[in-house]
Amino acid sequence: MQMPPSRVTGSPNPSNSRSSIHIDPVPPAPAPKKEIDHFHPTHGGGGGTVSMPRREHPTTSPGLEAARQRLEALKATAPTRTDFAGYGGDIAYRQAVALHNDEVRLAQRETQYEKLKLREPHRGDYASDAQFDKAKARYESELAPYQEELGPVLLERYEQQSAAASPTAAKLIAQAQKLGVPVTVLSDEEFQRRFPGTGGVTTGEGVFVPASALEQKTGALEHELMHGILGHHEALFDTQLPLQTRIDKARALFEEMGLDPQDGERLVRVTDGWGGGGDAEHVQTYVDGVAIAREKAGVPPLTAAEKDELYAEAAKREAALDIQRGLLDGIEKASPQEQARLLDEAEKQWARTAQGRANPPSGGTVEERLKSLTAILAAAASEDRLQKFQPLEVKLPR
């Protein structure tokens, strides 16, 4: 099944061999340089320079130690000819050796990658932002070929770890695989070139995440997978359909995924009248993020009453953010006539939502109305009301 071609959603900057995984082809990656100059020892200024202390790079990390252990384990389990007896043993042995050699080579590449990561530049090592930015860009360019090559490995490992730690994550991953939602892991450099300012994106071509989102466990993958899943069920938000029909469809989908069917109904009810799109979906991705974070932290699940409140507050926030980042973004720079037009549209969009009807703006002049609506949206978009649902301090992708 193809992804809907017109949808683009993203989460801000918060494989196995299955055929649904698409990794952009890249040329063979060069070996890492022996020395990377990430240090500029002087500040320019005045009549002289000021020496800066050299920060020693670490010599190891948990990631490097794990990569070394995987490599040693592979080397210790090389196939032997005696493992393949009988007719066709020679062919099977050669195939096993070739496969094992590929696995060893990839493990060696991962070890090199982890060593390179130890030399990440830090702002304190540089005399200016420009010097640091240049070093950071060079560092990301050196990481890029490794991240592209290791993308499928990072994806498979992350999915396994996330699914083991969170039943909700496991269900989202399984459903996305069932639907054939493509996942592409890009290098950080390539991801920011294609999708600047975001931490994960879902388009008609599937889900795109940077390699670092998997390594840093930002939750961007699960967030985007839910977008991919809901993209196959746009009828849930189709205002041309009766509300009860959409509720029935949502309950059926959530039950199919192994989630609470009542959550599907909650989603449709709190976004009724929105007309679909990524912002309605963001209500569910936010709720999923809370559930996954609580599961991974070992915190009890929310009660039915708490979920009612979470859905209501998440919907209020997403409805407000949509207008803030859309019609009202940069309105102060518009001409008086354009300001009036944009404000009219923003008020109408807000009024189409239950959240807006419960919090209508006031005022007679354009200035008064804009001031009122801006204040209402700022309060509605605040995440303060939602923090009580989080385990400790958790920042969810949006």
Predicted confidence (pLDDT) per residue in 112-126, tens digit: 999 999 999 999 999
pLDDT at 88: 85
pLDDT at 172: 98
* Mean residue pLDDT across the chain: 87
Predicted confidence (pLDDT) per residue in 55-97, tens digit: 678 899 999 999 999 999 999 999 999 899 888 889 999 999 9
CA-CA distance, 110 to 29, in Å (whole number)?
Answer: 12
pLDDT at 71: 95
pLDDT > 80? residue 278: no
pLDDT > 50? residue 5: no
Give me the residue spans of the domains in the chain.
24-40+56-157, 174-389
- Which carries the bigger pLDDT value, residue 99 or residue 50? 99
pLDDT at 397: 59
Q: Measuring CA to CA, which residue among 264, 197, 206 is closest to residue 237? A: 264
CB atoms within 10 A of CB 354: 17
Residues of the chain with pLDDT > 70, as a percent, come to 84
Q: Give CA separation, 345 vs 84, 349, 353, in Å.
A: 72, 6, 13
The backbone region for 105, taken as left when phi is positive above 0, alpha when psi lies in -120 to 50, beta otherwise, is alpha
CB 190 within 8 A of CB 166: no
Q: pLDDT confidence of 10, banded at 50, 70, 90?
A: low
Q: Give CA separation, 288 vs 33, 171, 266, 291, in Å.
A: 42, 11, 13, 5
Q: Give CA separation, 221 vs 42, 228, 285, 317, 356, in Å.
A: 41, 10, 11, 22, 31
- Chain-centre distance for alpha carbon 291: 16
At residue 57's C-alpha, the angle toward residues 54 and 60, to 5°, is 160
Among the residue ranges 230-234, 263-267, 275-279, 322-326, the one predicted with the least confidence is 275-279
Q: Give CA separation, 227 vs 8, 194, 230, in Å.
A: 9, 19, 5
pLDDT at 279: 86
- Which carries the bigger pLDDT value, residue 80 or residue 5? 80
CA-CA distance, 42 to 152, in Å (whole number)?
Answer: 41
Q: Measuring CA to CA, which residue among 200, 251, 244, 203 is closest to residue 223? A: 200
pLDDT > 70? residue 108: yes
| Amino acid occupying residue 250 | A
Q: pLDDT confidence of 230, banded at 50, 70, 90?
A: very high
Q: Is the dihedral of CA 295, 114, 147, 187 positive or negative?
A: positive
Pairing of strands 206-210, 183-186: parallel
